[in-house]
Structure 1
Amino acid sequence: MNSCTKLRGCVMTRPFSTPHVAPLYKALPYQYLGVRKISAYCRCDPDALRAFLPDEFELLGDVCEVFQLEAPDAGPLGHYSESGVVIPMTFDGTPGAHVALEYVSSDDSLAAGREIWGYPKKMAEVPFRSLENGGFESSTIRRGTTIISMKFTPGGDAFEKPVMQPRFQIKTFATADGTGWDLYQVIRNDLANVEVRDHQFGTVELELKGSDDDPLDRLGVESVIGAESTLIDFLLQGGRILKSLDAA
């Protein structure tokens, strides 16, 4: 295994990702500029949320975040949009949040997210647009079905948000013969150099439609306690391997 990476200030002698002659995504870090994100914070049935967490994580509270975002400049990943569900949790006593479902509009972002940090990304269309009233609307369309719809209007009340950073993910890869797993790791990912350029509380119209492949209907949403829109810059770096678990 080649241990030389650009993060350590040296030149790699092997490609960072496949295909070998033209890697799908480049080495870290990735500088994100002008990311617009709309979020709905939903009170849910705790038992429903718990079912979305890997066994290694403990649920923290009963509020999850449903988000949609547009990243117009993600460095070498270019322009893409994304959505997902984030659940507050703890690992070994440390609070953070787990991205339980995630949808993305580009193949390089999908592959990098899954292969580096273990984010559960799936391909989808995630159109995102500004509204004349200063709000935003976005939807997530997967295999021809709209599974998330959000319309954010500025001007809502402030509310208390759960802890949503750092992210804790499970990174796992199946063996080539399909009989088990090559690895099963707990990964921690922290954003760096975060700059909030705009923040607004607001109200949101939220619709979720689930299926066996995308079980958004099983979140047990009881109410929306608040919504926000943010515009941020940040640096996305490598994660930390906290624990390598038995993959057998």
Structure 2
Amino acid sequence: MKAADVARRLATPLTAPAYPASRTRFRDREYLNIVYRTDPDALRAVVPEPLEIEEPLVRFEIMRMNQASNYGPYTEAGQVIPVRFGAERGEYLHQMYLDSFAATAAGRELAAYPKSMGSPALFAEHGALVGTLDLGSQRVATATMGYQHRPLDFERARAEIAVPTYMLKIVPGYDGKPRICELARTQITDLTIKDAWTGPARLQLFEHVLAPLADLPVREIVSASHIITDLTLAPLRPVHDYLEGNRS
């Protein structure tokens, strides 16, 4: 393979890349969102400057990708933290766990999503919408919500899903020091809300050293939603360089 051809590739293995280069369109993407109040000191310990916290809130989410071009169906779970960047309010992606290696690798390499492998699930059972997250044989989170108890206004659902999103892009160099260390921003585009509900909810988080969701403990459930959408993820752009002025 010629050097010019190598330079055009985005992923390895060179002849069988882990993911395609094209953008992904999500259809019938299903969310279970539970917003809860947590410990303010614990939250401040994990949110990086220059992001700021206004309220000690966390959104636990489980997303079932029923139709994802390039990857097929998979499920994802994690924690999202409401933040402010300057005058803009958005969310910081704290940690995410997927059951698809291709989507995990693409999210980390092509973008900056803090993705790791796990075993999330989203299903209906005995009148409840149930979301779980396991790491290996160990339960990390269990979320339940009354199944389609009350309709949720579509504009409220849109506001919940389409906020600006911030995440860290960290790429190490061969010397063991950061080669890239940036805060990046994206926002969902081409969003269609297809159904949305709210209702009573509960959330349990269990201690695990490699999936430390319980480090942001549940103090009070604030709200819950069950939303079905079609959407596209926009490309990211850097908004803050942590290495600027510190490169040798």
Q: TM-score, length-normalised on structure 2?
A: 0.87
- Report the CA distance shift for 1:80/1:200 in structure 2 as closer, same or farther (over 3 A): same
- Report the CA distance shift for 1:152/1:13 in structure 2 as closer, same or farther (over 3 A): same
Give the whole-Å Cα distance in 1 for the aligned partners of 2:143 and 2:22: 31
Tell me, yes or no, if the aligned pair for 2:203 and 2:218 is still in contact at 8 Å: no
- Structure 2 residue matching 1:81: 3-state secondary structure: strand
- Residue 149 of structure 1 corresponds to which residue in structure 2? 142
- Residue 226 of structure 1 corresponds to which residue in structure 2? 223
Tell me, yes or no, if the aligned pair for 1:97 and 1:163 is still in contact at 8 Å: no
Give the whole-Å Cα distance in 2 for the aligned partners of 1:170 and 1:42: 23
* 2:145 counterpart letter in structure 1: F
Shift of 1:143: 2.4
Give the whole-Å Cα distance in 2 for the aligned partners of 1:158 and 1:238: 29
- Residue 18 of structure 2 corresponds to which residue in structure 1? 24
RMSD value over aligned CA atoms? 2.4
Shift of 1:158: 6.9
Shift of 1:163: 6.5
In structure 1, runs of 5+ residues without a counterpart are 1-11
Shift of 1:106: 0.5
- Residue 8 of structure 1 corresponds to which residue in structure 2? none
Give the whole-Å Cα distance in 2 for the aligned partners of 1:223 and 1:90: 22
Residue 243 (1) aligns with residue 245 (2): no
Residue 107 (1) aligns with residue 101 (2): yes
Shift of 1:76: 0.5
Q: TM-score, length-normalised on structure 1?
A: 0.87
- Structure 1 residue matching 2:219: 3-state secondary structure: strand
Work out the number of aligned pairs and report it: 236
Give the whole-Å Cα distance in 2 for the aligned partners of 1:38 and 1:14: 38
Give the whole-Å Cα distance in 1 for the aligned partners of 2:86 and 2:22: 27
- Report the CA distance shift for 1:29/1:194 in structure 2 as closer, same or farther (over 3 A): same
- Structure 2 residue matching 1:48: 3-state secondary structure: helix
- Residue 120 of structure 1 corresponds to which residue in structure 2? 114
Seq. identity, %: 23
Residue 63 (1) aligns with residue 57 (2): yes
Return structure 1 stretches of 4+ with deviation > 6 angstroms: 157-164
